[in-house]
Amino acid sequence: MRSAAPGESVCGDAWVALGSGDALTVVVCDGLGHGVLAAAASKRAVEIADTHQGVDPGSLLGLVSDGLTGTRGAAVAAARVDPDRGEVRFAGIGNITASLYAPGELSARALISTPGICGVAAGRSRPQVSTHPWTAGTALVMHSDGVHSRWSLRDWPGSRDHDPTTLAAWVLWQANRRRDDACALVVTGGPR
């Protein structure tokens, strides 16, 4: 789910979900600023991710950062959910928020991104890749800074009982700052 900043006709945030075998890679991008140039950077990041399905999140962010050279740049985070291995691997550069909820839990584990901006040489950082358990009932929530980070699933009783699209829409609706582009993505590990 995503929404453009007030007064803009395009959204500078984007996301993509890519299947490769039984694994799923998700990417959330926030083009710097908003408007057409931010949208172009996010669109390019999604295109790069789409042509490199199955690549580990850290390597994928390196490819994205190289591919965004000459654009405005973007904050980008990628997660690869592999149910067969029982893990999710995460890497981020910039201020994309990612939270992992264990089955039945309403408190999240924050997944940490590396400071920087993809596509900007001075801000180019090597992302740290972290690995976390993934089981049935696990939920991953990722969003751009157009969504404030003070929300909690505790505020919304029963929210874990809904499908990922509904939960992403709920996060976007309830926690949208309404002054910037906003994007939210939710992946769940199936029934609890």
Q: What is the DSSP string of 61-88?
A: HHHHHHHTTTS--EEEEEEEEETTTTEE
Q: Which domain holds residue 118?
A: 2-188
Interatomic CA distance for residues 164 and 168, integer angstroms? 6
Say how many Å lie between the first and final Cα of the chain, rounded: 24
Q: Are 86 and 131 in contact (CB under 8 A)?
A: no
pLDDT at 18: 93
Q: How many CA atoms lie within 13 A of 75 on its CB side?
A: 24
Q: Are 75 and 13 in contact (CB under 8 A)?
A: no
One digit per residue, the tens of pLDDT, for the chain of length 192 reads 899 999 999 999 999 999 977 899 999 999 999 999 999 999 999 999 999 988 999 999 999 999 999 999 999 999 999 999 999 999 999 999 999 999 888 889 999 999 999 998 754 568 899 999 999 989 999 999 999 988 888 888 788 788 899 889 988 888 888 889 999 999 998 654
pTM for this predicted structure: 0.92
Alpha helices in the chain (DSSP H): 36-50, 57-67, 164-175
Interatomic CA distance for residues 112 and 121, integer angstroms? 21
Dihedrals phi, psi of 24, to nearest 5 degrees? -130, 130
For residue 35, the domain's CATH number is: 3.60.40.10
pLDDT at 122: 53
How is residue 32 annotated by DSSP?
S
Q: Are 147 and 128 in contact (CB under 8 A)?
A: no
Interatomic CA distance for residues 27 and 173, integer angstroms? 20
Tokens 């965004």 belong to: 68
Count of structural domains within the chain: 1
Interatomic CA distance for residues 78 and 59, integer angstroms? 10
Interatomic CA distance for residues 165 and 9, integer angstroms? 23
